[in-house]
Amino acid sequence: MQSSDSSRSYRVAADVGGTFTDIVAFDAASGQTFFGKTLTTPGQLVDGIVTGVDKAGASIESARLFLHGSTIAINTVLERSGARTALLTTRGFRDIYEIGRINRPQAYNLFFKKHQPLIKRSLRFEVNERMNARGEVTEALDEAQLVALAAQLRELGIESVAILFFHSYMNPAHEIRARELMEEHCPGVFVSASHELSKEYREFERTSTVAANAYIGPRIKTYLGEIQDRFRKERFDGSFFVVQSNGGLFDVARAQRECIRMLESGPAAGVIGAQVVCDRLGLRNAIAFDMGGTTAKAGVVLNREVMMAGSIMVGGYAEGLPIQIPLIDTQEVGTGGGSIARIEEGGGLRVGPQSAGASPGPVCYNLGGTEPTVTDANLILGRLSADNFLGGEMKLNQAEATQALRNRIAEPMKISLTQAANGIIRIAATTMSNVVTRVTTERGLDAGNFAMVAYGGAGPLHASIVARELSIPQVIIPPSPGHFSAYGMLMADLRWDFVRTWFKPVNLLDFGEFIGIYADLEAQGVRILQRDIDSKRIVCSRAADMRYVGQEHPVTVELPASFFAKPDRIALKQLFDDEHMKRYAFNAPKEPAEIVSLHSSVVGALDKPEAKRLTAPARGRKPVAKPARRKVYFTEDAGFVNTPVYARQNLVAGQRIAGPALVEEYASTTVVFPGDKLEVSKHGDLVITIGRS
C-alpha cells in the first residue's frame, strides 16, 4: 500500500445502498472525518459515489485508499437480473442443482414452492470426467467434448459459465483444465470454477455457490470496472478494496473474479462497526441493527466476537438458494424507510417488501413517488422534520405525504390519518423484530440479554420500538449512524478465510497432519496479503467443524492458540462438547466425535481512525435544546406531545435526557420514547435505557 503524504491522505469508504449512497472520508493527516450522503443513482451507480465524495469535501484524486461495499450482488440474485449462464458438471449429475436437499420446511403447506435455480435445465451440460472422494481420477476429462461444448455455448449466446465437477475440492485439476479450455474457446465469457470459491464437500451447495458467482459475475465485473475507469479519469492511483461478506477486505481484481464473496458486503461492514462500539463501551453481547431505505438487517456480537456462519440461504430457508462461503451471520428483511404501505385484497395493511427506493422514493421526497412509505408515516407523526432532513439539504413535502396516506390508506380503511401512520410504523417494527429474532432466538440466544447497536438512516427512528417488543434493555446509537456501515469499512482489516474438508475421527487424529494443513492454508493467505501489508501485521486464527459420529451437520469450534501449544485429543473433544452444549443445550461426552472441515482465517491489520472523545460537560450544564419544540406522536394514550428537539452536535459527554425527546443530526433522527432515558458516552454514543412501560 502506498504511504500517505499531506496531499494524498484520505481513506474513503463508500456504501451503496438501494436508496442512499453513504461516504465517509478519513483524513489521516488531520485525524478528521468527513461525511457525504446522496441519493443512489441506479442507472450509473458510480455517479452517486463521486457526488457523495464531493459532498464530503474530499476528492477521488486525494484518496490513497478506497473501500467499497454494495448491495448490487445480493440484489442481482434476488431480482434474477444476472447473466445468461451455463453450468458444466460431471456426467450423471445435471439435476443436482434442481433436486437440492429435498427439504420441505412446511410439510402441510399446499402452496409450497421449491427453490428455483438461477440456471435453467436446458443450459446445464454434462461432461465426461470423474474424481473419487480421495481426489483420484477414475475417468479422464474429455477435452474434445469440452471444445465442442464451447462452440455450442457460443451459438447459444452464453455470457457466463459455471464449472462444478465432483470432488474437485479434493483435486481441482479437471476444473482448472476445463476453465482454461472455456477461456480459450469462449473469449470474453466470464468463467467460474467451484474450487476457487469453496473447498468443502456438499455438492449441491457447491453447485449453487459457483452458479451464483457465474450468474452475477459479468454484472459485478462491469460495475467494478466502471468504478476503476471513472477513478482513473479522476486521477486516483491509490489502493481499491472491496468489503467481503466475512467483514474483511479484498482487492478489486479478486472481487471481479470471486464476486459472490461481496454478497453481504454492506451489512457485514456495519456489524464490524458494531463490534468496535461494543469494545469501547465494554459490552460483551450486542445485536447490530441496521435499517436503511430499502431493508433492515441484523447481526450479532457474542462474547465480543462477531458471529460467523459457513453458508447463507439467499431468499430464505424454504425457497432460498444456498451460498457456501464464510460470512458474518446476518439476516435481512425488506423493510426500510422507503418500504411501501398498501392495503391487501382482504383489507389488511401491509408494509414492504416493495420499496420506493431512490427513484422515485417516498412521496415526501417530491421526486414523483405516489405510494406512502414508512418515511412518510414518520414525517406525519412528527418524528422527522420537513425542514431539517439531511441537515436541511433536502426539503420534505409533508402536504403530499399527508394526501397520499389519507387517500390510499386512511380513508379506504376508515381510520384517522394518525392511526394509519402509527399502524404503518407498528407493522414495520414487528417485521423488523422478526429479523432480530432470527439471529438470536433461532440461534438459541435470548435477545433480552443483549444490547442493541442501531444505525442506518432509519435505525435510530425505530430502534426503541423494536427493543420494547423484544425486551431488549439498552439501545446504543453510535455517532453518524446514517453513515455507520461506511464507517465500519474503515474499521475492517484485510482478510481471507480458508476452509478444507478433512474427515478424521478425533481418536485417530494425527496432529502432525492436522497442524500441517493449517500451516498450508495460512501460507496461502500470507502470500495474498503480503502484497498489500507488512507480514508483521498478519495474524491467523483456527477453527474446526466437528460432529458426533452419526450426525449430519457439524458445529464450528474455535481453536485457541493455547491448544496448539500442547495439542491433545481429549482437550479437542472437550472443546467440541462445550461448544455443542452452548449451541444446543446438550452434549454427549461419552460419544465419539469426528472432524469434518478445517477453517483458517488470515487477517492483515490496517490502521484505523480513533474514536474522538467529546468535551466534558461544565458542572451542572444541561443539554442545549433547539429553540423550537415539535408536536410528536408516541403512543395512542398520549397522542401528540410537545417534544424537545436536541441537536446532537451540541450534546456533551455525560449529559442525560429523559424521554420524550428527539435528537437530530445530519442523516438521522433518534427517537427517545416516554419512559426512556438517554446518556451521552464519552465518545458521543447515545446510550438509551428502555423504560419498562
Task: Return the SS3 of 625.
Answer: strand
Task: Note whether 27 and 302 are within 8 A (CB).
Answer: no
Q: How many alpha carbons lie under 13 Å from residue 90 in its C-beta half-sphere?
A: 23
Report, as an integer, the average pLDDT of 229-255.
91
For residues 59 and 226, what is the distance between their CA atoms, to the nearest angstrom?
17
Band (pLDDT 50/70/90 cuts) for residue 393 is confident
Per-residue pLDDT tens digits for 116-151: 899 999 999 999 999 999 999 999 999 999 999 999
On the question of pLDDT at 652 being above 90, the answer is: no
| 502/511 Cα distance (integer angstroms) | 13
* DSSP-derived 3-state class of residue 689: strand
Cell of 340: 411501501
Alpha helices in 172-294 (DSSP H): 173-185, 203-233, 252-257, 265-281
- Residue 343 has which C-alpha cell? 392495503
315 sits in the region (left: phi over 0; alpha: psi -120 to 50; else beta) called left
Q: Which three cell numbers stand for residue 348?
A: 389488511
pTM of the model: 0.87
Smallest CA-to-CA distance from 494 within 328, 249, 244 is with 249
Residues 531-555: b if buried by 16+ CB within 10 A, e if exposed: ebbeeeebebebbbbbbbeeeeebb
pLDDT at 620: 62
Does residue 299 sit in helix, strand or coil?
A: strand
Give percent of the chain with pLDDT exceeding 90. 62
Q: Residue 5 above 60 pLDDT? A: no
Q: What is the pLDDT of residues 330-342, one digit of tens each?
A: 888 888 888 899 9
Q: Quick count: other Cβ atoms within 10 Å of Cβ 687? A: 17
Answer whether residue 612 shows pLDDT above 50.
yes
| Residues 378, 664: Cα–Cα separation, whole Å | 14
Does position 20 have pLDDT exceeding 60, yes or no?
yes
- The answer to whether residue 7 scores a pLDDT higher than 70 is no
Residue 214, C-alpha cell as written in the block = 457465474
Give residue-wise pLDDT tens across range 413-441: 999 999 999 999 999 999 999 889 988 88
Looking at residue 613, what is its pLDDT?
83
Cβ neighbours for 329, distance < 8 A, ≥ 6 positions apart: 299, 300, 307, 308, 309, 439, 443
Nearest CA-CA partner of 321 in 114, 108, 106: 114
Chain segment 155-213, per-residue pLDDT in tens: 999 999 999 999 999 999 999 999 999 999 999 999 999 999 988 888 999 999 999 99
In terms of pLDDT, which residue wins out, 339 or 627?
339
Please report the domains of the chain, with CATH numbers, ordered by start residue: 10-70 (3.30.420.40), 77-221 (3.40.50), 265-335+428-490 (3.30.420.40), 339-426 (no CATH), 494-604 (3.30.1490), 625-677 (no CATH)
For 486, the grid coordinates are 461506511
Query: What distance in Å separates the CA atoms of residue 228 and residue 225, rounded to the nearest whole number?
Result: 5
Mean pLDDT of 619-626: 65
Kindly state the cell numbers that stand for 444.
438459541
Q: Which helix (H) or strand (E) holds 677?
A: strand 677-680
Cell of 671: 427517537
SS3 616: coil
The rounded distance, in Å, linking the Cα atoms of 315 and 604 is 32
Residues in a beta bridge with 499: 599
Helix (H, G, I), strand (E, B) or coil at 270: helix
pLDDT surpassing 60 at residue 693: no
**pLDDT score recorded for residue 210:** 97
Average pLDDT over the chain reads 90
Using CA atoms, how far apart are residues 516 and 379, in angstroms rounded to an integer? 60
Q: How far apart are CA 66 and CA 490, in angstroms?
A: 10
What pLDDT, in 10s, does the model give residues 344-359?
Answer: 888 889 998 888 877 7
Whether the upstream peptide bond of residue 479 has omega within 30° of 0, thus cis, is no
How are strands ordered across the β-sheet holding 639-647?
Answer: 625-635, 639-647, 661-665, 668-672
Report residue 484: phi and psi, to 5°.
-70, -35
Predicted pLDDT of residue 1: 35
